[in-house]
Amino acid sequence: MLERKGWWTALAGVLLLIGGPLRGAEISIEGGPIEPGFNSGTFAYIHATVHGLTGQPKRYVVFAEIQYFGTTANTSVEMDRVPETKPGVEEFQVGWPIPPQAPTGLYTLTLHVEDRIQHSPEIRKKVRGFVVYKKLVRISRVTLDKTLYNVGEPIKCEVGLENLSDIDVKGLRVEFSNANYPWIALYSQGGHDNPDLAVRMIREHLDIPAGTAVTIPMIPAGTATFLQGKQRDVMGAGLALPNEKVPPPEVDMYTVALWNADRTKLYDMQFTPQVIVRAWDRDLPKPYSRNFIHPYNSFIDFTKYREFYPPGMISEAIQLDHSHTLYRPGDTVKVAATLNYSVAYGPLSNGVVLVRITDMAGKEVHMGSLVTGLNLAPGASPKVTGDAWTIPPNQTPGTYRMTVNLAMGEGKIEVASTATEIAVNQLPASLLVVCAHEDDDQAYTGLMRAAVEAGIPVHLLTLTAGDVGACERYFDKPCGPNEAREFGTVRLEETAEVLEHLGIARDNLIDLGLPDGGSGAIWFEHKDSSNPFLSIYLACDHAPYENVYKPNLPYARDAVVEAIRQIITNLHPAMIALTGPDERHVDHRTANWFAIKACQELLKQKVLDPQTIVLADQVYGAGGFKPAPYKYEDFVVHLSGEAAALRQEVTWIYQSQDGNLHEGEKMTFAELPREEKHLRIMDWQEHEGWNEQESGH
């Protein structure tokens, strides 16, 4: 009897093991890589959690399917079961050995649960992928000897370096600079280097054996000096120079860069901790870093912020809809208003709403009635709409003031009045804005908003993901490849939010995911996709982003130009707005070069209209390079006050790019500029190849 009982127990176990598979509805799986990215030659660690396995869960196995984005070949890795998990929950993990020569870029990851008896997958789920990067050597630590420096004192710096590869790295050069970015020229056309923004070499001919770390001991690396104003004048960034004989104390930060022996390959770059530089005999005012809204408390305004609009401009009795204030010649200006008719006025009989339009000098260009025969009881709040002005086709572009009056007695007795502005511009049938970085679109915010209000298609193409600019500030730590890529996604999201604020769908944002600061090397040195550029911060030679135009786009000139060709072919823009071809920031000028090269190739193929309007802007100003041979004409976008306010608000959204400082410098309605100035490149169809050779100043 006991033998029979044991036989039935064993049989039940076998039946349970080989019984029907668990249904997918009962099982769920979650997980992914434990880090956003991993260095080639190391391990990619992946974790998975499976819920709902009952009975004999050991009959099931979990696999991680790894695929380089854009290819069809899969690598399937069986994951190891983690012991001592919770009832009903099974944990799995695996370390995939990344081949040292694995291509850098984005890898997709799919987890699936498989029945070992029936050999059929039960659950399959695509999870967050990961990036493989190739970082050979890095700056692991930057330490300064002090936090407070007097002008003229030496700045001493200690640098930790680490060789992450399995080969010796020789002949390294370590530099210290107070100019921050090596790809922004430190001079203007016709100018010269500023000695206060100098690069100092602190070590050369440095060898680091494979897999080891070295420390450059605390040595003099620079001299404390006031940088405010100098960085702004030379680099287009930073605070204006205070108009004082003895400058106030300031917060500064320096850069340590790691190059190869002949300074042609930048391996890594890190920022120092922030320091305070002050004169020997001046401690006040106390300075604040870029993490705060104001550099000094004396910059705080306690008056004008209280009233944005000029006194008397806005009336509670007539509240206008300001959503449409930008027009083209031939458009009809429509007014929508809510009349808050006060009890104090008494009944209104046969009232009229009048509209008067003048230029900004006060000269009348139109006068008319919006509504007539208006009868209002005290306390009434009717909404009125109407056509205020059909703009003549030959109307001069510009900004105009529109006054709306509520009157009675055939318009002779004014009851209430309010005012706003409109602007008139000649606009294209469609617009493509091409920028180097996510905040560069601010140069064309007014143009984009004018196109939106005219119902014109608008798309924004950014070439890089801006992975360097203020990455350390965002994470409050030195940035490696994982932080840089994540910071790039932060900047992409900021731009998407900017587009939505302008009334443009976020889907109209296109990004190529190029590396910040690498466009010059891509243009001059990496022309073919078989030899892509290895980026500094991302440590990838292919675009490691998922939500970009083409994930794993090679960092090579032919691939970039071809992508832009495809985008222009698909969109057929009547106007293409670019960065300037001579800008001192290498990403800015080469963004122009990439786009115009694509346009010239499409022109040869008769795909692009030779009458396409191409604009250029200069955010940083021209550097000391061979100037572009183009002919230019001024192109001005006129703004209403409301559009100018919207343009100001956009700067606040770019929090990672000093949005807090811009919000602290907000301007009133009267202070906002009403023009957005650009250059039209008249002969973009010509001068092919002028920028093939790299030139200095």
State pLDDT tens for residues 360-394. Answer: 999 999 999 999 999 999 889 999 999 999 999 99
Q: What is the pLDDT of residue 22?
A: 46
Q: Is 274 left (phi over 0), alpha (psi -120 to 50) or beta?
A: beta
- Which residue segment(s) compose the domain that 466 sits in? 431-681
Q: In what order do the strands lie in the sheet with 458-464?
A: 509-514, 458-464, 431-435, 575-579, 613-617, 675-681, 632-638
Of 201, 266, 194, nearest to 235 by C-alpha is 194
Four-point Cα dihedral 104, 105, 111, 115, nearest 10: -40
In-domain check, residue 695: no
CA 535, CA 481: separation in Å to the nearest integer?
10
Under DSSP, the state recorded for 588 is H
Both 179 and 64 in one domain: the answer is no
Are the CB atoms for 37 and 485 separated by under 8 Å?
yes
Both 48 and 126 in one domain: the answer is yes
Are the CB atoms for 515 and 534 separated by under 8 Å?
no
Both 392 and 499 in one domain: the answer is no
State pLDDT tens for residues 97-120. Answer: 999 999 999 999 999 998 887 766
Number of C-beta neighbours around residue 536 at 10 A: 25
Both 396 and 444 in one domain: the answer is no
In-domain check, residue 306: no
State pLDDT tens for residues 216-235. Answer: 999 999 999 998 866 555 44
What does the buried/exposed string (b/e) look like for 237-266 if buried means 16 or more CB atoms within 10 Å of the residue's CB? bbbeebeeeebbbbbbbbbbbbbeeeeeeb
Q: What is the pLDDT of residue 570?
A: 98
Q: What CATH number did the domain enclosing 111 receive?
A: 2.60.40.2300
In-domain check, residue 395: yes
Both 292 and 195 in one domain: the answer is yes
Which tokens hold the place of 122?
């039960």
Both 390 and 450 in one domain: the answer is no
Both 443 and 403 in one domain: the answer is no
Q: What is the pLDDT of residue 471?
A: 93
Both 122 and 174 in one domain: the answer is no
Beta strands in 523-662 (DSSP E): 575-579, 613-617, 632-638
Which tokens hold the place of 161?
């370096």
**Burial class (CB within 10 angstroms; exposed 0-12, middle 13-18, buried 19+) of 657:** buried
Q: Chain-centre distance of CA 131, in angstroms?
A: 20
Look at residues 403, 424, 445 and tell me which one is the last residue of a structural domain: 424
Which tokens hold the place of 35?
């880090």
Q: What CATH number did the domain enclosing 417 receive?
A: 2.60.40.10
Q: What is the pLDDT of residue 348?
A: 86
**Run of H or E residues at 652:** helix 641-653
Which tokens hold the place of 90?
């099974």
Q: What is the pLDDT of residue 5?
A: 40
Of 628, 619, 612, nearest to 689 by C-alpha is 628
Q: What are the distances in angstroms from CA 306 to CA 129, 516, 667, 670?
A: 49, 40, 12, 14
Instruction: Please report how the helices 445-453 and 481-502 are oriented relative to each other, as an axis angle in degrees rounded to 10.
Output: 40
Both 128 and 147 in one domain: the answer is no
Both 92 and 231 in one domain: the answer is no
In-domain check, residue 18: no
Domain count within the chain: 4
CA 271, CA 256: separation in Å to the nearest integer?
6
Both 381 and 450 in one domain: the answer is no
In-domain check, residue 310: no
Q: What is the pLDDT of residue 242?
A: 56
Both 672 and 540 in one domain: the answer is yes
Are the CB atoms for 620 and 236 separated by under 8 Å?
yes
Bridge-based pairing of strands 575-579 and 431-435 is parallel
In-domain check, residue 21: no
In-domain check, residue 197: yes
Residues 6+ apart with CB under 8 A from 402: 333, 335, 355, 356, 357, 388, 419, 420, 421, 422
Instruction: State which amino acid sits at residue 351.
Output: G
Of 681, 521, 650, 644, nearest to 590 by C-alpha is 521
Q: Which residues of the chain have pLDDT under 50?
A: 1-25, 188-192, 234-235, 697
CA 570, CA 416: separation in Å to the nearest integer?
51
Are the CB atoms for 695 and 656 separated by under 8 Å?
no
Q: What CATH number did the domain enclosing 644 receive?
A: 3.40.50.10320
Q: What is the DSSP string of 403-456?
A: EEEEEETTTTEEEEEEEEEEEE----S-EEEEESSTTGGGGGHHHHHHHHHTT-
Q: What is the DSSP string of 199-220?
A: EEEEEEEEEE-TT-EEEEEEEE
Look at residues 382, 408, 424 and tell me which one is the last residue of a structural domain: 424
Look at residues 133, 164, 193 and tell me which one is the last residue of a structural domain: 133
Give the three-class secondary structure for 372: strand
